Amino acid sequence: MDDRLFSFKQKSQDFVVTEELQFTLANKGDVFFVFFEKRNMNTMDIVNHICSICNISRLSLGIAWLKDKKAITRQWICIYKSALKKIWWEVVFLETIWEVAKVLNTWWHTEPIGMTTPIKNGFYIRLRANKKLSIHEKDISQKKIMSLCKKWFPNLFWNQRFGINGMNPKQGSDILQWKSSIRDKKDIVFKIQAYASKIFNEYIHSRTKKWLQILDGDIVIDTANPQKNQFGIYQAKTNTIKLFDDMKKNEQFFRYPTSTKWEIPFNPETMIITWPVVWYNLLLAPKDSFAGNKEQGLLEKNKVTEKSVKLCIKYKIFWIRRPIRVFPQKVNIQFQQDDILLNFTLPSWSYASIMIDELEKTVWVNVSQ
């Protein structure tokens, strides 16, 4: 018997996502921006529709991130002026988008957006009550949600990365071990990235019981002072962080932090541990550190070697270091009769679905405890 107090995502309007650019559009330049709203469609469904109807390359378009299908999502897409010229300018581009989505606004800017563009996502979520709630149940539910929102939660990749029956990572592993004959480049890249995501999740699970505990050699990023291309190495003896700039791509398969600049105190409230979403040109924690040994062990277990990573050069799949935890900001909770209306923002590199999972563990049931 289902004893949950609330249900989530019964309708697309229960889950609304809005992209928030972290820069101001210049209203001039060679890149045309469109802010649109889609329902019950993947972001790539929109992109593929535009490419097919307008007969343009996927590389002509820029998107900041992929968004859920079963939701209302408002996001940006951009196109170079040179590509617009080939399709009779903005009118055709906008008409093509209108066929599958709703155009909300347009703008011009000097630079395109891409999958590494820093953005935030604003969320509106309705948790539908499964019964008439008492005042006590409402009060406890609200307190538990606020308690979770003040804490960090694991920055896991969501199931959509892994495909039906979770087969994408297995296929990605086969590709890297030269056991697969997949030829489509996009499919190859997606499957390899799915495998990288699986290893990332595995790393977080390996630290589940003490996943907030920092290890000697952990590479961290400071969310309170995020300087571009800058990370730091945790020094356990002094409880400090050695900052370094080391983001330039080179010809190494695996590399380690160099050129440390200065040392600052470790702040556990804002400094987040990262772990690599592998592949080519992979930045790892120092070999002689506790964190470095842990990273090396997991890579060896998953057969991540120079031979397997070499394939990623061809497909230009480079490493990133992803924070292993995240917390929501600008949280607002209201009740509409017995339903909960929840608003918050998250960085682009995190999944609201993971936060909902955390809520399920603490809020859906047993609120009287």
Which burial class, exposed, middle or buried, applies to 112 when counting CB atoms under 10 A from its CB (0-12, 13-18, 19+)?
A: buried
Assess if residue 17 is contained within a domain: no
Q: 43: Cβ–Cβ under 8 A, 6 or more apart, which residues?
A: 63, 65, 66, 67, 73, 75
Taking the chain (369 residues) in consecutive chunks of 10 residues, what is each chunk's mean pLDDT? 70 90 91 95 90 88 84 94 88 95 96 83 90 89 83 82 81 82 76 88 80 87 68 92 71 74 86 82 87 89 80 76 87 91 88 81 57
Task: Say if residue 313 is in the same domain as residue 191.
Answer: yes
Task: Say if residue 166 is in the same domain as residue 311.
Answer: yes
Domain tally, the chain: 3
Assess if residue 305 is contained within a domain: yes
Task: Say if residue 95 is in the same domain as residue 46.
Answer: yes
Q: Of 117, 142, 163, which residue constitutes the final position of a domain? A: 117
Q: How many CB atoms lie within 10 A of CB 190?
A: 17
Assess if residue 183 is contained within a domain: yes
pLDDT attached to residue 75: 95
pLDDT attached to residue 229: 55
Assess if residue 45 is contained within a domain: yes
Task: Say if residue 110 is in the same domain as residue 137.
Answer: no
Most distant pair of Cα atoms in the chain: their distance: 63
| Cβ atoms of 201 and 157 closer than 8 Å | yes
| Cβ atoms of 328 and 207 closer than 8 Å | no
Determine the Cα–Cα distance for residues 41 and 129; give it in Å rounded to an integer. 26
Determine the Cα–Cα distance for residues 188 and 192; give it in Å rounded to an integer. 6
| Cβ atoms of 139 and 64 closer than 8 Å | no
pLDDT attached to residue 369: 46
339: domain range?
6-11+120-151+327-362
Determine the Cα–Cα distance for residues 248 and 113; give it in Å rounded to an integer. 20
Assess if residue 281 is contained within a domain: yes
Long-range interactions of 179-188: CB distance < 8 A, separation 24+ = 185/315, 188/315
Determine the Cα–Cα distance for residues 16 and 37; give it in Å rounded to an integer. 10
pLDDT attached to residue 290: 92
pLDDT attached to residue 175: 84
Task: Say if residue 90 is in the same domain as residue 194.
Answer: no
Assess if residue 65 is contained within a domain: yes
Determine the Cα–Cα distance for residues 369 and 362; give it in Å rounded to an integer. 10
| Angle, CA 311 vertex, CA 307 and CA 180 arms, to 5° | 95
Angle 306-314/167-176 helices, nearest 10 degrees? 100
| Amino acid of residue 11 | K
| Of the candidates 344, 348, 280, the residue with the CA atom closest to the CA atom of residue 310 | 280
pLDDT attached to residue 16: 94
| Amino acid of residue 228 | K
Task: Say if residue 143 is in the same domain as residue 180.
Answer: no
The CATH number given to whatever domain includes residue 66 is 3.30.2350.20
Q: In the structure encoding, which two tokens stand for residue 136, read together?
A: 């006590």
The CATH number given to whatever domain includes residue 285 is 3.30.2340.10
3-class secondary structure per residue, the chain = CCCCCEEECCCHHHEEEEEEECCCCCCCCCEEEEEEEEECCCHHHHHHHHHHHHCCCHHHEEECCCCCCCCEEEEEEEEEHHHHHHCCHHHHHHHHHHCCCEEEEEEEECCCCCCCCCEEEEEEEEEEECCCCCHHHHHHHHHHHHHHHCCCEECCCCHHHCCHHHHHHHHHHHHHCCCCCCCCHHHHHHHHHHHHHHHHHHHHHHCCCCCCCCCCCCEEEECCCCCCCEEEEEECCCCEEEEEECCCCCCCCEECCCCEEEEEECCCCCEEEEEEECCECEECCCCCCHHHHHHHHHHHHCCCCHHHHHHHHHCCCECEEEECEECCEEEEEEEECCEEEEEEEEECCCCHHHHHHHHHHHCCCCCCC
